Amino acid sequence: MTENNSSSADFIAAVKSTQIIWALQDTASEGWVVLDSANFEDTDVMPVWSSCELAKNHCIDEWQDYAPMPITLADWLEFWVEDLANDNVLIGIEWRDGGEYLELELAEFSEMLAKIENL
């Protein structure tokens, strides 16, 4: 198994049990962290994490005014996919500074989540 497959498998295993992914939201404006892709020019990435603790580790420096916010898989699939698709945003799984994370197309990421969603 490659490192990317291992990273996505670990992420999916963690999310399967909680049915929640975590992203960072600005506490004042309610905007979400979206950043430049480490791998593709002119492409935005929305970082997500499998736990509140992992997300909270990034609420420093330029993101000190952000807080980890839970997004249920049901909400992701019902509300988020269409909006992010319109913006052509990639998803950064278990984002870490320095580009040490897996970037996935929105459709591929959402398909992985749909397979583990408890209805």
CB 104 within 8 A of CB 91: yes
Distance CA 99, CA 111 (A): 23
Distance CA 30, CA 41 (A): 26
Strand 90-93 and strand 44-48: the pairing is parallel
Name the fold adopted by 3-116: Trna Endonuclease; Chain: A, domain 1 (3.40.1350)
Q: Is the pLDDT of residue 2 over 50?
A: no
Amino acid at 55: A
Question: Which of the two residues, 76 and 98, has the higher pLDDT score?
Answer: 76
**Helix and strand totals (H; E) in the chain:** 5, 6
pLDDT value of position 22: 98
Q: Which residues pair with 104 in a beta bridge?
A: 91
Q: Report pLDDT digits (tens) over 55-91.
A: 999 999 999 999 999 999 999 999 999 989 988 899 9
CB 39 within 8 A of CB 91: no
Measured at the alpha carbon of residue 23, what is the angle toward residues 68 and 30, in degrees to the nearest 5? 75
Neighbours of 31 (CB within 10 A): 10
Q: Is the pLDDT of residue 105 over 50?
A: yes
Q: Report pLDDT digits (tens) over 25-50.
A: 999 999 999 999 988 899 999 999 99
